[in-house]
Structures are given as structure tokens and as C-alpha cells.
Amino acid sequence: MTKEFDFKKEWGKTKKQLLEFSQEAAKVAKKGEEELVKFSQKSMVHIDATAANIHKEKLYYQIGKEYAHEMIDAEKSDKLKNLLAELKKVIAEEKALQNKIKKQAGSGGKKKTVKKKSTRKKKTAKKAEKNA
């Protein structure tokens, strides 16, 4: 009642199926790895933006503290000037990171193109009125 099983015949089919399966698994793993790298890069930009925002808040606090301390003097102290300069740099960095985040978010899907109305005629007419 037992049927004899021919391993040699089945091994060729099984080997072919295993090779196909392993190739598909490798493709899926590579695609998953690429997605993980993209996600990691996006996360790093978000973390950098958050750090810049926290730094900016700290500078606001320090500027307020220095301003209150130097309120008697009419001139800005050197420390206050340095803090304001650093704040400008941090704000520029934060804006750059926010733009980078927007670009990454926009590249994920299809972009809708919206045709803008031309305002050139209106602008030139206003300039002509001012010059007249």
C-alpha cells in the first residue's frame, strides 16, 4: 500500500522552486532595506529640526535674561549681541531643515501642478501709476 517516492524527480522541481523563492526573498529584503534607509534619513532631518527648535527656545530665554539684566544700560551688551547673532543663525538653520522636510514629504507622492494666474499685467500697471 505504500507508494514509492522518487526523490530524484522531485528534487529538480524543488530545487528550482527554492532558487526562485530565495531570489524573491533577496529582492524583498533589498527593497525593505532601501525603505529603511529612506525612513532613517527622514527621521534624522526631523530630529535635527527639533534640536534647532530647542536651541532657538534656549536662546530666546538667554536673550530675555540678558536683556532684563542689562535693562539699565541703553546699549546692547556684547553678550546680547552674540546671542542675537547666534539666534539668527539658528533660525536660518531651522528654516533650511523645514524646507528639507517639505521636499522629502513632497517627493513621496505625485505632485499636483496648479497653473498660477499671471499677475504681470497688474504689476506693470501699478508701477506705471507710481511713476506717473
What per-residue confidence (pLDDT) applies to 18?
A: 87
Q: Is residue 95 part of a domain?
A: yes
Q: Is residue 101 part of a domain?
A: yes
Q: Is residue 68 part of a domain?
A: yes
Q: Is the pTM of this model over 0.85?
A: no
Question: CA-CA distance, 45 to 51, in Å (whole number)?
Answer: 10
Q: Is residue 113 part of a domain?
A: no
What per-residue confidence (pLDDT) applies to 91?
A: 92
- The contacts found for 87-90 with CB under 8 angstroms, 24 or more apart, are 87/56, 87/59, 87/60, 87/63, 90/52, 90/55, 90/56, 90/59
Range of the domain at 33: 10-108
Q: How many domains does the chain have?
A: 1
Q: Is residue 122 part of a domain?
A: no
Q: What is the DSSP string of 75-130?
A: SPPHHHHHHHHHHHHHHHHHHHHHHHHHHHHHTTSPPPP-PPPP-HHHHHHHHHHH
What per-residue confidence (pLDDT) applies to 47?
A: 92
What per-residue confidence (pLDDT) applies to 1?
A: 41
What per-residue confidence (pLDDT) applies to 54?
A: 93
Q: Which three cell numbers stand for residue 107?
A: 517627493
Question: CA-CA distance, 68 to 72, in Å (whole number)?
Answer: 8
Q: Is residue 72 part of a domain?
A: yes
Q: Is residue 94 part of a domain?
A: yes
Each of the 132 residues of the chain gets a pLDDT tens digit; together they read: 456 667 777 788 888 888 898 999 998 888 888 888 888 988 998 999 999 999 999 999 988 888 887 776 656 678 888 888 999 999 999 999 889 888 887 765 555 555 555 555 566 666 666 565
Q: Are 90 and 56 in contact (CB under 8 A)?
A: yes
Q: Let me know how long the chain is.
A: 132
Q: Is residue 119 part of a domain?
A: no
